[in-house]
Chain A
Amino acid sequence: MYVAVKGGERAIAAAHQLLAEERRGDPAVPELSIAQIEQQMSLAVDRVMSEGALYDRDLAALAIKQARGDLVEAIFLIRAYRTTLPRLGYTLPIDTGRMAMRRRISATFKDVPGGQVLGPTFDYTHRLLDFTLAAEGANVSPPQQPSINNPAPIPPMPRVTDILAAEGILAPEVDIDAGDTIADLTREPLAFPADRDARLQALARADEGFLLGLGYSTQRGYGRSHPFAGEIRMGAVSVEIQPEELPFPIDIGEVELTECQMINQFKGTAETPPQFTRGYGLAFCQGERKAMAMALVDRSLRAAELGETADSPAQDAEFVLCHCDNLEASGFVQHLKLPHYVDFQAELGTLRTLRAERREAAE
C-alpha cells in the first residue's frame, strides 16, 4: 500500500548533516581558518565581495568556507545577508583619481605620469605548477627585500582618460547633478530602457564568467567596438560621507578597487565630431578580469545611445542585464530539480490523448 511520502523534514535534516561533514572533510586535516582564507584565497574573497556587493573580507571568507569553496554559493550567502542590513546613508562618489595605487597600466601610451606599475599580477608568470608550494609549512622561498614585499603606494596620479578628456578627444562623461537620483537595483526593479547608472550597477554585480564571455564576443566581431585598455588601476580610495550638519565631508575608511577604462573609437554624428568614447569597469579589490570584461560590455551596451547598430548579444541591454546575475541564473537553472510532478502529470495526460487520437486516426 502506498503511503503519501512523509519525512521530508527528516530528509532535509539528514542532508544538512551530510553537508556539514562534507564541508569539514577529513577531520585529520586541520580546519581552515577564516584568516587563512582571507589572506591566502584573497582573489576568491575579492570576487565574493564584488558580486556579493558587500565590502567585508571576513564575511566573504566565512561565506567561502561555509560554501565549501563554491563562489557562486558564497556570493549568494553574502547577498542574502546584505539584503537585511539597514541602509544608514549614502557616501559621496568615490574619486579614483585620488587612488593610492598599487598597480597601474595603460596600453595606450608608452609612458604616463606616474609610470606603468605592474604590482601583484599573474600577467608575466609562466603558468608552471610551483611544486615548492606543495611543500607545506616549509618556507622554501628566501625572505624578500622589504621594499619589494611591500612597496609604497604610488601617490595619486591623473587618469589617462582625464588627459585625453582635457584634449577634448575623449567624450566627457555625463555629470550627474546633485539632485539626480542614481538607480539602485537593490531597491527598485530593473526597467527598460535602462539608463547607464542602472546598467553599470547590474554589471558590477554580474557574474564574472558571463561578462567575460560576452566581452570576448565583442572582440570576435559580435558588436565590434575597437577597444584599447586606456588605463587599469588598482589601489585604495577614501570613502566619504557628507553629514548634513557639517560643512565638510568625513572620511569613514577606504576600499580597494580595480578600475578599468576602455577607450573605444566612435565615428561621430552630424552633431559630434569623431572622438573616443569610454567603457567603464569597476570591481572591489583585485578584480581585474571582471573590470575589463565589464568595461567591454558597458561600451557595447552604449551602442543604441551612440547611434550604432545594435544587433549582437552584448549590445542587447535586455538580454545582458536580465541574464547576468548569477543568483538569478543559478537559482532558476537549478529549480528544475524541484518536483514538477503535477505539471508533468498534466503534460503526460495531454501527450497520451494526442497519441491515442493519432492512433485512432490511423486505424
Chain B
Amino acid sequence: MSEPSDTAGYNFAYLDEQTKRMIRRAILKAVAIPGYQVPFGGREMPMPHGWGTGGIQVTASIIGRDDTLKVIDQGADDTTNAVSIRSFFAKTTGVATTARTEEASVIQTRHRFPEKPLRADQILVFQVPIPEPLRWLEPRESETRKMHALGEYGIMHVRLYEDIALLGRIATAYDYPVRVNDRYIMRPSPIPKFDNPKLDNNPALLLFGAGREKRIYAVPPFTKVKSLDFDDHPFEVQTWDHACTLCGARDSFLDEIVTDDLGTRMYACSDTDYCADRREAAPQTVDASEAAE
C-alpha cells in the first residue's frame, strides 16, 4: 500500500463532505430498516477492496474530532491490517486511538465482536466482504433483492437442513445467517458464530459496510437478532476444552497456535485487549501446562 506522503491536501477522514453526507444518508436508512442492505455510491479508497473499504467509508463518515477509535482484525489490535487502518485514520483525522474497548467510541472490526460488553454510546463498524446472505444459493442480485422484498427465505433453511441430514449438525461455523427484527435475513460478516449472541439486543449501534459490493446495513441498538435454526436443532456456539494459556479465560474465543514442529498447540484469547486486561487483573491465573490439557 502506498500512503500519501502528505495528507494536507485531503479532507478530514479522507472523504469529501459530500460523499460523507451520502454515506450518512445510507446509514440512516439502514438504521431505519434493520438488516436491509442499502446500496450506496461506494468510493475508491486508498486501500484495496476486500481489505475493509466498506467499514473504512462508514467510519470515515461518522467519525468526529472528539471520537476515540479502536481498530481490530481477528480480535487483535496489532494485526497488520488493523494497524494499517488505524494509522490511516490517525493520519487523516488526528483523533485519539486506543486498544481498550471501553475507551473507544467507534470500533472498526474485521471478523470479531469484542468480548467486553459494549455500551449505548459506542458504535461497532464491521467490514463486510459479501453482504448478501442468499448469494451462495442464488448468485443473481436481481433475484436476491426480490427474495428479500418478498421475505422468501425458505432456501436458507434448506441449507441448514442439508447440513443436519448429511453431517448430523449445522456445519456453518462463521458468517452464520441471522434474522433481524423478525424481518430481513442478514450476514453478520465473517464473525464466528460464537459472536452471534452478542448481536442480539446489543446496546451499541452496529453498522456494516461492504465497499466492493457497495452496501451498508445496520442493527440498531436493542434490536432482536436471531440466528437461524430448527426447533429441534437449536443454534449453538463453539466451546473449547481449553482455557486461554495467557489469562485462563474460558469464556472467550480462542486462537489455536502451533508452537513447534511436532504440532504442539496452545490456545489464547483472540481478543487481545480482553486478554491483557485479565492478565493485569489477576496475573498467572493458570499455567501453560494446565491450559494445554
List chain A positions with a Cβ less than 8 A from chain B. 1-2, 4-9, 11-12, 16, 66, 76-77, 79-80, 82-84, 86, 186-193, 318, 322, 327-328, 330-335, 338-343, 345-350, 353-354, 357
Query: In the complex, how many angstroms separate the beta carbon of A62 from the nearest chain B beta carbon?
Result: 11
Find out whether the CB atom of A350 lies under 8 angstroms from the CB atom of B173. yes
Find out whether the CB atom of A11 lies under 8 angstroms from the CB atom of B80. yes
Find out whether the CB atom of A12 lies under 8 angstroms from the CB atom of B44. no
Report the separation of the CA atoms of residues A334 and B142 in the bound assembly, to the nearest whole angstrom.
Answer: 27
Scoring B39, B83, B257 by chain A CB atoms within 10 A of each residue's CB, the highest score goes to: B83
A-B contacts, 28 listed (Cβ < 8 Å): A1-B288, A2-B259, A4-B276, A8-B78, A8-B79, A8-B80, A9-B87, A77-B2, A84-B15, A189-B40, A190-B214, A318-B140, A327-B48, A327-B49, A331-B48, A332-B49, A335-B49, A335-B129, A338-B50, A339-B80, A340-B74, A340-B111, A341-B255, A341-B270, A342-B75, A342-B255, A345-B192, A345-B253
Report the separation of the CA atoms of residues A331 and B50 in the bound assembly, to the nearest whole angstrom.
Answer: 5
Find out whether the CB atom of A334 lies under 8 angstroms from the CB atom of B140. no
Report the separation of the CA atoms of residues A341 and B269 in the bound assembly, to the nearest whole angstrom.
Answer: 12
B 27-83 contacts with A by CB, 8 A: 39-46, 48-51, 53, 73-76, 78-83
Q: Which residue of A is nearest B11, CB measured?
A: A84
- Per-residue CB proximity of B168-193 to A under 8 Å, as 1/0? 11010111000000000000001111
Say yes or no for B268: interface residue by CB 8 A criterion: yes
Given A4-B76, A339-B73, A342-B270, do A318 and B142 touch, yes or no (CB 8 Å)? yes
CB neighbours of A334 from chain B (8 A): 48, 50
Q: Which residue of A is nearest B268, CB measured?
A: A2
Find out whether the CB atom of A354 lies under 8 angstroms from the CB atom of B169. yes
CB neighbours of B46 from chain A (8 A): 80
Given A338-B51, A339-B73, do A354 and B288 touch, yes or no (CB 8 Å)? no
CB neighbours of A328 from chain B (8 A): 49-50, 212
Report the separation of the CA atoms of residues A188 and B82 in the bound assembly, to the nearest whole angstrom.
Answer: 28
Q: Which residue of A is nearest B46, CB measured?
A: A80
Find out whether the CB atom of B80 lies under 8 angstroms from the CB atom of A318. no
Say yes or no for B272: interface residue by CB 8 A criterion: yes
Q: Which residue of B is nearest A82, CB measured?
A: B44
Report the separation of the CA atoms of residues A82 and B44 in the bound assembly, to the nearest whole angstrom.
Answer: 8
Q: Which residue of A is nearest B42, CB measured?
A: A189
Q: Which residue of A is nearest B86, CB measured?
A: A9
Query: In the complex, how many angstroms separate the beta carbon of B53 from the nearest chain A beta carbon?
Result: 8
Say yes or no for B14: interface residue by CB 8 A criterion: yes
List 7 additional contacts besides A12-B80, A76-B48, A339-B80; criterion CB under 8 Å.
A66-B2, A83-B45, A193-B142, A327-B44, A331-B53, A338-B73, A348-B256
Say yes or no for B194: interface residue by CB 8 A criterion: yes
List chain B positions with a Cβ less than 8 A from chain A. 2-3, 10-11, 14-16, 39-46, 48-51, 53, 73-76, 78-84, 87, 110-112, 129, 139-142, 167-169, 171, 173-175, 190-194, 212, 214-215, 238, 240, 245-246, 253-257, 259, 266, 268, 270, 272, 275-276, 288
Q: Which residue of A is nearest B79, CB measured?
A: A339
Interface of A is mostly: helix
Find out whether the CB atom of A335 lies under 8 angstroms from the CB atom of B48. yes
CB neighbours of B276 from chain A (8 A): 4
Query: In the complex, how many angstroms separate the beta carbon of A191 from the nearest chain B beta carbon?
Result: 7
Query: In the complex, how many angstroms separate the beta carbon of A296 from the nearest chain B beta carbon?
Result: 23
Report the separation of the CA atoms of residues A193 and B45 in the bound assembly, to the nearest whole angstrom.
Answer: 26
Find out whether the CB atom of A6 lies under 8 angstroms from the CB atom of B78. yes
**Which of A2, A333, A342 is close to B253, meaning CB atoms less than 8 Å apart?**
A342
Given A191-B39, A335-B129, do A330 and B259 touch, yes or no (CB 8 Å)? no
Find out whether the CB atom of A192 lies under 8 angstroms from the CB atom of B16. no
Find out whether the CB atom of A345 lies under 8 angstroms from the CB atom of B255. yes
Find out whether the CB atom of B193 lies under 8 angstroms from the CB atom of A2. no
Query: In the complex, how many angstroms separate the beta carbon of A346 from the nearest chain B beta carbon?
Result: 4
Q: Which residue of A is nearest B75, CB measured?
A: A342
CB neighbours of B81 from chain A (8 A): 338-339
Find out whether the CB atom of A2 lies under 8 angstroms from the CB atom of B79. no
CB neighbours of A349 from chain B (8 A): 173, 238, 240
Report the separation of the CA atoms of residues A6 and B43 in the bound assembly, to the nearest whole angstrom.
Answer: 32
Report the separation of the CA atoms of residues A4 and B279 in the bound assembly, to the nearest whole angstrom.
Answer: 12
Query: In the complex, how many angstroms separate the beta carbon of B71 from the nearest chain A beta carbon?
Result: 11
Find out whether the CB atom of B129 lies under 8 angstroms from the CB atom of A345. no
**Which of A2, A8, A191 is close to B82, meaning CB atoms less than 8 Å apart?**
A8
Report the separation of the CA atoms of residues A19 and B212 in the bound assembly, to the nearest whole angstrom.
Answer: 26
CB neighbours of A4 from chain B (8 A): 76, 78, 246, 268, 272, 275-276
**Which of B43, B78, B190, B288 is close to A83, meaning CB atoms less than 8 Å apart?**
B43
Q: Which residue of B is nearest A78, CB measured?
A: B44
The 10 closest A-B pairs by CB, nearest first: A335-B50, A331-B49, A331-B48, A346-B173, A332-B50, A189-B214, A8-B83, A346-B192, A331-B50, A79-B44
Query: In the complex, how many angstroms separate the beta carbon of B19 from the nearest chain A beta carbon?
Result: 8
